[in-house]
Chains A and B, each alone.
Chain A
Amino acid sequence: MPFVVLGDPNYATSIRIIKKLIDNGASALELGFAFSDPIADGPVIQKANNRALANGITTKKDFEILEEIRRESKVPISIMLSYNLAYKYGLDAFYKKCSALKITAILFPDVPLEESKEAVKHAKKYSIHQVFLVSPTTTPKRMQQLNKVAEGYVYLVSLLGTTGARESINTKLPELIKLVKKEMTLPVYVGFGISTPAQAKNVIALGADGAISGSAFCKIIEENILSKENMVTKIANFCKEMSEAVKGA
């Protein structure tokens, strides 16, 4: 599942990019709302956030892009954003809007179980899946607690750290996937540090139900900022490669 930031690098190109992802094998999308201070993101996704903000993205425009996508596609869409953006929009209004746009799932990386009551309440009200992070520091007991409130899928953070490409996947990941599979009933999607088709394939082979790749896509945008044509083409090709790697696993 590819991740990009809505409005990166700008409104129009972002729509083109997302459509390309859908046309090139992405069976589901994870889309981020740009925030000025994303604490779980490494440099590449921070820059993606900044590009979108510098080019005038707002929460309202994020929703407009989603509307545009929905006009053409029913692809499942998860959104990921810092809690403050939804809080300022008004939680009820935010979930209501997402529901109207047929958003499948919402993940706030800065809302752990302890702070999730309001979010979960609204998610239930509007029939949206509230997704939670599970990490290498999450204990089995905590996984069981999360399993009671989490819906949709588990976003398994493959390593301790921020988002960003890594040379290789965490050696403890096989055990971790096994543990989550044992303690939780939801499908497991692995993210953070998955940036090559081989890594994605590997993660699936280890028993995960999906792989989420963000920084690699955002890096393509960053490196092709001068030519939108190249950018869109490369995104399409990379998405195809990733999708095929996952399907072949």
Chain B
Amino acid sequence: MFVPEMMVPALKELANAFEKYKDEEEFKKELNYLLKEFAGRPTPLYFTKNISNELGFRIYLKREDLLHSGAHKINNTLGQGLLAKRMNKKEIIAETGAGQHGVATAITGALLGMPVKVFMGEKDVERQKLNVYRMKLFGAEVVPVTSGSKTLKDAVNEALRYYLTNVETCYYLIGSVVGPHPYPKIVQHFQEIIGKETREQILKKEGKSPTAVVACVGGGSNSIGIFSAFIEDEVKLIGVEAGGNEEKHGKTLGEGSVGIFQGSKSYVLQTKDGQILEAHSISAGLDYPGVGPVHSYLKDSKRAAYGSITDSEALEALAYLSRKEGILPALESAHAVAYVMKNKEKFKKSDIVIICLSGRGDKDVAQLMGGGFLE
């Protein structure tokens, strides 16, 4: 944990609480109940007939987009929300990029009767207006962040600063496998449900492991969530980062280097000197210069491979999946879909490819309309 001294005791308290409750029957029962009855788990593993036919191999979508709130983020917020409650914290704070984690946290706060403050870069407040409004509907306070690049990394900075100040009463509910220890471990734990379900489902449907599992990587939570169940299997694990536009991108693993950023040591987009660079992606959820340390490990050990998809390729994939399958993916998830489309030559007819559809695209509609996407 690379954090100021003020936070250390609180992070230790959190690590202890997590170890104590994660395997406790009562805690697991409560979480499983909420995941099932409130969030809508298990999510389907859907076989896409139309695009499978067209692309020439068997493609499944893990439908995290069907979860209450519209994305996988709620798996984690329910888990950590219960933890916050057990720890008797008075207030929950969160950072958000696309707004999906903010919405999931706001929902969780409403459900558990805890006040929620969400830090969000001013630029993201602008491009994710709908989610800002949704957070407010659920009773959360949205705090626009004006420092730095005014996106996700700055929202994390501001949340850390607030946490530093209110460390005794406040629970910082981080939205991805990033930040100081023990957060990467906690978030991964609560997202592993995606992989557990997927593995069971594919074995039942196909009687064998998939050829590849593909997921988009922002901080890396939906991807590690689905990868984790397949790490011991002979399955290609492919993470897809934001290729952005020609100039700027979010290819942290692809083009970053190891550094210490926001509490952990991992790949980060930075200058030679170690100044953190601004990322860019059309999808706010992938617009982040850092990545979870677990992905640095999977990259360095070559257990997972990481590619990237540009803004325009992601948009194309969003339109393609919508028209061919009647499923509107989040711009983030569209990166994973685009990767499979772009690399179709690498797969043969009998191959099974699972895409983690981490979220739905409803949140992106206003942005698409503003950009005149259909015209």
**A interface, CB within 8 angstroms of B:** 35-37, 39-43, 46, 53, 58-60, 82-85, 87-89, 109-115, 132-139, 142, 157, 160-162
Q: How far is the CB of A164 from chain B (nearest CB, A)?
A: 10
**What are some 14 contacts across the A-B interface (CB < 8 A)?**
A37-B261, A39-B3, A39-B263, A59-B273, A82-B274, A84-B276, A88-B274, A110-B3, A112-B5, A114-B1, A134-B5, A157-B5, A160-B166, A162-B164
Chief secondary structure at chain B's binding surface:
mixed
Identify which of B164, B260, B261 contacts A40 (C-beta below 8 A): B164
**In the complex, A40→B157 CA distance in Å?**
9
- B168–A83 contact, CB under 8 A? no
Known: A46-B147, A114-B1, A134-B5. A39 touches B273 (CB 8 A): no
Given A46-B147, A59-B273: A162 in contact with B8 (beta carbons within 8 A): no
Question: Nearest Cβ distance between residue A237 and chain B, in whole angstroms?
Answer: 30
Contact between chains at A110 and B260 (CB < 8 Å): yes
A132 to B268, CA, bound (A): 26
Contacts of A138 in B (CB 8 A): 5, 8-9
Find chain B residues with CB under 8 A from A41 CB. 161
Q: Is the beta-carbon distance between A40 and B4 smaller than 8 angstroms? A: yes
Interface residue B167 (Cβ < 8 Å from any Cβ of A): yes
Q: For A40, list chain B residues within 8 Å (CB).
A: 4, 161, 164
- B262→A37 contact, CB < 8 A: yes
CB-CB < 8 A to A161: which residues of B?
Answer: 6, 164-165
Having A37-B154, A137-B6, one finds 7 other A-B pairs with CB under 8 Å, namely A88-B272, A89-B273, A114-B8, A133-B6, A137-B167, A142-B8, A157-B6
Q: Is B10 at the interface (CB under 8 A from chain A)?
A: yes
| Residues of chain B lying within 8 A (CB to CB) of residue A37 | 148, 153-154, 157, 261-262, 276
Cβ of B5 and Cβ of A135 under 8 Å apart?
Answer: yes
Q: In the complex, are the beta carbons of B2 and A83 less than 8 A apart?
A: yes
Interface string of B1-31 (1 = CB under 8 A from A): 1111111111000000000000000000000
* B270 at the binding interface (Cβ < 8 Å): yes
Instruction: Give the chain B neighbours of A59 by CB distance below 8 A.
Output: 273-274
Residue of A with least CB distance to B1? A114
Give the residue name and chain of the B residue nearest to A192 (CB). B6
> Which of A87, A110, A160 makes the CB contact (< 8 A) with B167?
A160
Please indicate the chain A residues that have their CB under 8 angstroms from the CB of B10 in the complex: 137
Q: Which residues in chain B, 259-304, are within 8 Å of chain A measured between CB atoms?
A: 259-263, 268, 270, 272-276
Of B4, B9, B148, B164, which contacts A36 at CB under 8 A? B148
In the complex, are the beta carbons of B273 and A58 less than 8 A apart? Answer: yes
Docked complex Cα distance between A43 and B2 (Å):
21
**Nearest CB in chain B: distance from A211 CB, A:** 18
Write the chain B residue with the least CB distance to A60. Answer: B273
Q: Is B174 an interface residue (CB 8 A)?
A: no
Query: For the complex, is B160 an interface residue (Cβ under 8 Å from A)?
Result: yes
Q: Which of B158-179 contact A (CB under 8 A)?
A: 160-161, 164-168
A33 vs B10: C-alpha distance when bound (angstroms): 28
- In the complex formed, the residue of A with least CB distance to B5 is A133
User: B115 CB to closest chain A CB, in angstroms?
Assistant: 19
Closest Cβ–Cβ distance, residue B68 to chain A (whole Å): 32
Closest 3 CB pairs of A and B: A88-B274, A133-B5, A161-B165
Against A, the Cβ 8 Å flags (1 = close, 0 = not) of B40-74 are 00000000000000000000000000000000000
* A136 touching B270, Cβ below 8 Å: no
Distance to closest chain A CB from B263 (angstroms) = 8
- Residues of chain B within 8 A of A115, CB atoms compared: 1-2
